[in-house]
Structure 1
Amino acid sequence: MIELRDKTLLIDGRPRLVLSGEVHYFRLRREDWQDRLDKLKAAGCNAVASYIPWLCHETVEGRIDLDGRTRPELDLGAFIDLCQANGLWFIARPGPFVMAEMKNEGLPYWIYEKHPEIVPAGWDGKPATTPTVDYLAPGFLDAARRWYDAVMAVIAPRLQPGGGNVIALQLDNEIGMLSWVSNCPDLTENVLADFAAWLKARHGLEALRQRYPFDPDAPEARRDGIRSPAENYALALMRDLGHYMRDRFARYVATLRVWAENAGIRGIPFVVNIHGTGGGRGFGFPIGISQLYPSYTQDAGYLSGSDIYFGNLTFDNFQDLYLCNAFMEAVHRPEQPLASMEFECGDGNYGNTYGNRLDPSAADFKARMCLAQGARLINYYLFSGGRNYKLDPAPQDGDGRIAVTGERHGFAAPVDPEGRLNYSYPRLASLTRTVAAVADKLATMREERDPLAFGFIPDYFMTEYRYPASAAMADIIRNLEANRGPGAWETMARAMLLGGYRFGAVDIQNRALDVASTPVLALGSARYMDASVQRKLADWLAAGGGLLLYGEVPQYGMEGEPCTVLAEALGAQISGFRQASERYFLSLAADGWAAPRPEVRTHFAQTFAVPSARALLRVCDTGEICGFETAVGNGRAIVIGTAYPCDIALFRTALERLGAVAALRHDCEDHGIFMTSTANAAGERFIHLLNLDGFDKRFRLYEHGQPLFGGREIELQARDGVMLPLAMRFGEVKIEYATAEIAAVSPDCIEFRPTQRLDVIAVETAREIHLSWHDELQQDTPTTYVVSLRPPPLRDRITLRHESAGG
């Protein structure tokens, strides 16, 4: 039985970490399956995931091959059974869409030919530029239902609760992504009729007449009015369309789940994966969350999985991954843990051009951060490359193959299409084996957090559909994009993390906001914010909350209507805006407790009249206030209404004045260190550290002002990451602390990966400890110190053998 409980993944009642690799059975010769599984197991993985492409299995309508009749590599059941014979769990991803560079994103050609009505028309009636479809079109649903019935007949007998190895089923893939990236909302006649019914149910007929100047029940009027909106209702339509699409996707997901359950798929979670990262950044990822969170939170039994494509995790983008995970968790149900269904691994050579080359640390760093934040499932994508065979019958499209990458596929994978290991494999394998050694500990650990959260407003990211001719849509989207991501992420979030803060996020749009659970809130705020959210923030402040607002104090609601509820609560009158230009060098001067600081350049400042507030930042040439601190009832707010740079000390002081003090600190002046900690109910802990730079760093760590690791200096090597144990017990052996990383555990031996010039492992045990000749023991009852005398480059393991006294 697979259960999701209290952010934990349980298999037969035992908390587990699932470390999976994506291997496409259909892209490999059947005789190569075992070789790829051997390489997967050698890398420390305990599961396999694969898309199951409808395009390959039903090239001709009604002729579904899932047992290898037409091609041996299409025997899905045989591949799942081989995974089980190798002791590996299986995660099934049957579409209907699979993407994976497949033609038609994995849908059969015949479905478009038979059902042309499923191809969407978008703005101004223009046809979709991507091979998306109307998910709820009757013709598509009828065909997809038959596909599900066939593929579930193979999967259902192999479920883990029934003695098989299938532990999860993904429902479709990246739902809504194609419409978003092409800015082509699905506006078929079927969708327009459904949207009209939704509008009437949401607003009521009388209110709808006031909201839109067309009759939603008149097909021609609604077609023109929705596909080519007028400016006077464009913002209302953008908002309604976004909320409707969320509901539509949720209904589609629920439909797929019903089909799967009716076919016998029970006792395992249903996965919905979230798109949006790319180009090394995560600014777009919350758009995917916004589109899909109603789909995977509508009922118990769903698991959301991220798509993580950040390339190298560096000083520039590390805060992106941290925030993406935090925002996922902010909208989750209480039982849902973090997971990643497409976790980028490999060398980055996606175009087979050697135009991109990732550092070996890339997947290692991202996995370490995700696990520290509570991820329970990671699926390395793509673990093994393969080949794209030719379809039969072959489409007349130039090469007739199943995918768009030519004959070879997965050029960047740790295991290339021919089965060779590339340079990314060893470090990925080392990390995975290290995690597997302590998986029982990590599987129940939670990140320890300081008393603050990052504010998340899903509707700030509901910007996937914008009518090209609408200036009103363009203006609001431009402002939201400027304030929801780059400003707050690049400055405030980065400063918080570099300042040692560990934090989650809170959905301030849909969840209650109370001082007990969220005493301090950091919020990237735009010029637009719903009145209900503004009121919630004002009430929370009055009750004693501490708000750090970065960006703009809102002046309008989300449809452009004037709304200054929060500004009034802050006692602030927005007096204007300053914008830098080619001949106007907008600069800021610090005031109050923020002074003295050098003047700094900026490109934007919102100015205020705040008679009862303390000024913190002013426009240099006018003296206008653009940053201030003020009391609000029993609470306090600090507003930075300008694009202020990443001043770690300033943001730390601001948060401390609001009541949030970072428990963890280090004394390295070079920054570039990500750190957090995790703990379980038994008090066992890991300190997680990443050196984001290409040079070594030496520092000491402190918690609540007290030194950790006996006050010993930590040397974190260039582009290295570690999980250092504290108060961790293995049978009769307790590791009080170690500056080395646990690499393997057996009943009478613990192996460590050395990380320092001189590593120290503090042990409490009644057992006898045996070491190799280049280590020594130092006794200070009840603690024994194991001291490694050789630096890491000269050895790869510290072996601590222990046995009963006299044994």
Structure 2
Amino acid sequence: MVEIREKQIVIDGKPTLIMCGEVHYYRLQRSEWQDRIDKLKDAGCNAVASYVPWLCHEPVEGQFDLDGHSRPELDLAGFIDLCRDNGLYFFVRPGPFIMAEMKNEGIPFWVYEKHPEVIPYGWDGAAATTRTLDYMAPGFLAAARNWYAEVMAVVAPRLHGGSAGGNIIGVQLDNEIGMLSWVSNCPDLTEHVAADFAEWLSRRYEGFVLERRYPFALDDAAVRLGALRSPEESYSAELLHDLGYYMRDRFARYVAVLRGYAEEFGVRDVPFFVNIHGTGGGRGFTYPIGISQLYEAYTQGPGYVSGSDIYFGDLTVMNFQDLYLINGFMDAVHLPDQPLTSLEFECGDGNYGNNFGGRYDVSAADFKTRMCIAQGNRMINYYLLTGGINYRMDQKLGDGNDRVAFTGERHGFAAPISPEGELNYTYPRMKRAIHTMMAVKDKLAVMREERDAVSFAFIPDYYMTEYRYPQSERMADIVRNIEANRSSGGWEIMARSMLLAGYRFGSVDIQNKPLLPSATPVLALPCARYLSADIQRKLADYVTAGGGLLLYGEVPQYDMEGKPCTILSDALGIRVLGTVVNGPHSWPAIVACGWAAGRAEVHTHFAQQLEPGTHEVIMRLYDSEVVCGVDAAVGKGRAIVIAAAYNSCDVQLFRLALERLGAAAGLTHDHKDMGMFTTSTANADGERFLHVLNLDGFDKELHLYEHGEKLLGGQRLHIASKDGVMLPLDMSFGDVRIAYATAEVAEVAEDAIRFRLTQPQDVIAFVTEREIAPSDDYTVGEQDGVKLVRSGKHAKVDDTLVVRFAAAK
């Protein structure tokens, strides 16, 4: 039985960590399956995932092959059973859409030919530039139901917990829903969608309100279609807002329909996964668009799990806060039981074009694994673990190659395992990361990140910008301002500074969930000029009741449709008089004052002109004395406002601001060059891990502190360049407790623990009644009831140490 509870994946009553690898059986010869499974197991994975391509299994309507009678590599049941025989769980991804560089994103050609009405049109009636479809069109759903009937007949008997002893622990419903429409700015405006949207509007708004919002005949099909595809400026902002909400509802209904089909055909009592898309160019700025688009899909009821698509390349000081934030944002919108998972977790070398256009460091997958596990991810699916071959279809496609995908004959050039089965240079470090996690999988499966008294605000509607009419300046003004403030500044400056200062923080969905000082003592908010009245009122009440608010960006002056709304600024006692922007021959500079004084002036391209009232001024513009930063006491609470593009990652400034609001960083270090990521996790028994990443390309020596006290017995840590460590604190394995260690736990046996050494001389402190067996590899001493094992090996020469114990009495 597979359950989702308390942010854990629980299999047969036991919380379980799933480390999975994506293997596309249909891109391999059947004779190659066992070799790739062997390499997956050698990497440390305990599960296999694969798409199931509808395009391959039903190339001609009604002619299914799921048992390999036309091609041996299409024997889905045989592949799943082989994984079972190798002791591996299976995660199945049957689409209908799968992407994976497949032609039509995995949809059979006959679907488009038989149902031309499901092919979308976008703004001004332009044809869609991607091979997406109207998900909810009756013709498409009928075809999809037939596909699910066939594929679920293979899946259902192989579910974990079933009478046949199956190994399938989860089913993904479709793939990257809404992504194609977003990236092409083509909002699926078929006649069916337009009619459905009109019906949705009639349920959402009273008649007289709807007539004011949309001054055209919504009940006239031809008028409606033209007015939605080519909106007038008078209702463009309303359409931006309503279309986003409608699409969330539509995607949720689509996911529910697919789940209904799966359950109809016997697939029950396993989680149903929805994957979230959006990373791009090695950054996460657009990723929350996927969180927003699919918000209602994975929160509509129990049994759903959302999963990330993580494509960041190398994790560096430039982008590490992106991964941290998007994990936090996903957790913020989840239902109480839903865990974090990653369904496409980038691995390999980045050589996606087979032209050395990417060349990742070996730390890439390792660092991202460590951060995601530290933040509570319970399942990671390494994508793509192994490459393969795109076979030619029997049907002539007339497209120049007749193959099932558009990457040529070979696929997965960047994978740790090549299409021919060779291991590339990234495989050993990825393997080390997976084995490190699996060595303590029972601990990690239940641990949660420890947090300081600050949270980062998430507003789903700030990312509801996926569809914008190109001719609308009104839409463009709103979207430009939101985009300028929702991520780049707040992420690049505030979030990065917070992490470099040592803050461990989660996120809170301030749009849909309560915001109380008792649960969120301090809130860091990247804010735009536009913010809904409801959220402005919630923030005003929060500060007045005793909350601490760090607002970075702009004090909002309008609601999300551009109507004047100053609820928050009125509550804070701050008036916005205007704005100052960079000019052709003008370079405004911010001068810090008040408690923020003593730092260099900073150039800015934008600032709001504030009338601060009686509040303390902390920032002004150099020549005009315009106020752009204040510290405001409001009711029982306090707000520090930086209403400018403060283009400096001033770690000390943000630390000072948060401390004045009541949030101190609990886990810090003393290395002057920053470049470190640190956090900690704990379980209910008080067992903990310290997670440390050296994001820079040079070694560092430092002490770790918790609330000012040195950790690890005061040991000075040496963290190698581009390396990470996960160090145990107060962790028990049977009757042996590790008080602290500078080495990682690599394997636990009944009478021995194997460690990965990380230091010139590692120290491991044990509390146990058992005798530690002598060894030439270490010395044993005792201090204050703690047995200290000091390694005689230098980690860079030999990083393996086995500490053996006398048999238990």
Name the TM tier (shorter chain): over 0.9
Letter in 1 for 2:81: D
Helix, strand or coil for the counterpart of 1:101?
A: coil
Is the 1:495–1:647 Cα contact (8 Å) retained in structure 2?
A: yes
Is the 1:528–1:555 Cα contact (8 Å) retained in structure 2?
A: yes
Aligned position for 1:60: 60
Helix, strand or coil for the counterpart of 1:792?
A: coil
C-alpha distance in 2 between matches for 1:658 and 1:770: 52
Aligned position for 1:654: 657
Is the 1:388–1:401 Cα contact (8 Å) retained in structure 2?
A: yes
Please tell me whether residue 680 in structure 1 is matched to residue 683 in structure 2.
Answer: yes
Aligned position for 1:174: 176
Please tell me whether residue 236 in structure 1 is matched to residue 244 in structure 2.
Answer: no
Helix, strand or coil for the counterpart of 1:161?
A: coil
List per-residue Cα deviations over 1:435-487 (Å, max 9, x = no partner): 10000000010000001110000000000000000011111111111100100
Letter in 2 for 1:715: H
List per-residue Cα deviations over 1:112-167 (Å, max 9, x = no partner): 00100000011001110000000011110010000000000000000002020000
Aligned position for 2:699: 696
Aligned position for 1:626: 628
Aligned position for 1:617: 619
List structure 1 segments (4+ residues) > 4 angstroms apart after TM superposition: none
Letter in 2 for 1:482: A
Shift of 1:779: 1.3
Is the 1:766–1:804 Cα contact (8 Å) retained in structure 2?
A: no
Is the 1:308–1:344 Cα contact (8 Å) retained in structure 2?
A: yes
Is the 1:771–1:799 Cα contact (8 Å) retained in structure 2?
A: no
Is the 2:633–2:639 Cα contact (8 Å) retained in structure 1?
A: yes
Aligned position for 1:144: 144
Shift of 1:749: 0.9
Aligned position for 2:102: 102
C-alpha distance in 2 between matches for 1:596 and 1:414: 50
Which TM-score applies when normalising by structure 2?
0.99
* Identical amino acids, percent of aligned pairs: 63
Is the 2:393–2:402 Cα contact (8 Å) retained in structure 1?
A: yes
After superposition, residues 492-511 of structure 1 pair within 5 angstroms as 492-511=494-513
After superposition, residues 303-314 of structure 1 pair within 5 angstroms as 303-314=305-316
Please tell me whether residue 381 in structure 1 is matched to residue 366 in structure 2.
Answer: no
Please tell me whether residue 725 in structure 1 is matched to residue 728 in structure 2.
Answer: yes
Aligned position for 1:758: 761
C-alpha distance in 1 between matches for 2:602 and 2:140: 57
Aligned position for 1:768: 771
C-alpha distance in 1 between matches for 2:582 and 2:211: 43
Letter in 2 for 1:631: A
Aligned position for 2:493: 491
C-alpha distance in 2 between matches for 1:709 and 1:719: 21
- Name stretches of at least 5 consecutive residues in structure 2 with no aligned partner: none
Please tell me whether residue 284 in structure 1 is matched to residue 289 in structure 2.
Answer: no
Helix, strand or coil for the counterpart of 1:277?
A: coil
Helix, strand or coil for the counterpart of 1:682?
A: coil
Aligned mate of 1:557, from 553, 556, 559: 559
Aligned position for 2:133: 133
Letter in 1 for 2:604: T
After superposition, residues 199-214 of structure 1 pair within 5 angstroms as 199-214=201-216
C-alpha distance in 1 between matches for 2:791 and 2:604: 50
C-alpha distance in 1 between matches for 2:62 and 2:166: 28
Which TM-score applies when normalising by structure 1?
0.99
Please tell me whether residue 155 in structure 1 is matched to residue 155 in structure 2.
Answer: yes
Helix, strand or coil for the counterpart of 1:195?
A: helix
Aligned position for 1:738: 741
Shift of 1:804: 2.8
Aligned position for 2:481: 479
Shift of 1:641: 0.5
Aligned position for 1:32: 32
Cα distance change of structure 1 residues 345 and 771 upon mapping to structure 2, 3 Å threshold:
farther
Please tell me whether residue 93 in structure 1 is matched to residue 101 in structure 2.
Answer: no
Is the 2:22–2:382 Cα contact (8 Å) retained in structure 1?
A: yes
C-alpha distance in 2 between matches for 1:213 and 1:121: 23
Aligned position for 1:113: 113
Is the 1:394–1:401 Cα contact (8 Å) retained in structure 2?
A: no
Shift of 1:610: 1.1
Shift of 1:789: 2.2
Letter in 2 for 1:691: N
Helix, strand or coil for the counterpart of 2:360?
A: coil
C-alpha distance in 1 between matches for 2:463 and 2:316: 24
List per-residue Cα deviations over 1:633-656 (Å, max 9, x = no partner): 100000001111110000001000
Shift of 1:552: 0.2
Please tell me whether residue 797 in structure 1 is matched to residue 800 in structure 2.
Answer: yes
Aligned position for 2:468: 466
Is the 1:276–1:307 Cα contact (8 Å) retained in structure 2?
A: yes
After superposition, residues 221-620 of structure 1 pair within 5 angstroms as 221-620=223-622
C-alpha distance in 1 between matches for 2:271 and 2:161: 11
Helix, strand or coil for the counterpart of 2:26?
A: helix
Shift of 1:325: 0.2
Shift of 1:776: 0.7
Cα distance change of structure 1 residues 640 and 771 upon mapping to structure 2, 3 Å threshold:
farther
C-alpha distance in 1 between matches for 2:410 and 2:123: 37
Is the 1:168–1:268 Cα contact (8 Å) retained in structure 2?
A: yes
Aligned position for 1:165: 167
Is the 2:738–2:765 Cα contact (8 Å) retained in structure 1?
A: yes
C-alpha distance in 2 between matches for 1:252 and 1:102: 22
Shift of 1:772: 3.1
C-alpha distance in 1 between matches for 2:19 and 2:601: 49
Letter in 1 for 2:60: V
Letter in 2 for 1:627: G
Letter in 2 for 1:35: D
Please tell me whether residue 75 in structure 1 is matched to residue 75 in structure 2.
Answer: yes
C-alpha distance in 2 between matches for 1:460 and 1:213: 26
List per-residue Cα deviations over 1:654-685 (Å, max 9, x = no partner): 00000101111111100000000000000000
Helix, strand or coil for the counterpart of 2:772?
A: strand
C-alpha distance in 1 between matches for 2:800 and 2:649: 39
C-alpha distance in 2 between matches for 1:244 and 1:448: 37
Letter in 2 for 1:659: G
List per-residue Cα deviations over 1:503-548 (Å, max 9, x = no partner): 1100101111111101100000000000000000001111000000
C-alpha distance in 2 between matches for 1:570 and 1:789: 61
Query: Which moved further from structure 2: 765-774 or 696-705?
Result: 765-774
C-alpha distance in 2 between matches for 1:575 and 1:596: 27
Shift of 1:225: 1.0
Shift of 1:771: 4.5
Shift of 1:766: 1.1
Letter in 1 for 2:726: M
Helix, strand or coil for the counterpart of 2:294?
A: helix
Is the 2:777–2:801 Cα contact (8 Å) retained in structure 1?
A: no
C-alpha distance in 2 between matches for 1:376 and 1:448: 16
C-alpha distance in 1 between matches for 2:95 and 2:345: 18
Q: CA RMSD in A?
A: 0.7
C-alpha distance in 2 between matches for 1:745 and 1:804: 14
Shift of 1:781: 4.3
Is the 1:772–1:799 Cα contact (8 Å) retained in structure 2?
A: no
C-alpha distance in 2 between matches for 1:771 and 1:551: 61
List per-residue Cα deviations over 1:14-70 (Å, max 9, x = no partner): 000000000000000000000000000000000000000000000000001000010
C-alpha distance in 2 between matches for 1:260 and 1:406: 33
Letter in 2 for 1:74: L
Letter in 1 for 2:732: R
Shift of 1:107: 0.2
After superposition, residues 7-46 of structure 1 pair within 5 angstroms as 7-46=7-46
Is the 2:793–2:799 Cα contact (8 Å) retained in structure 1?
A: no
Letter in 1 for 2:776: W
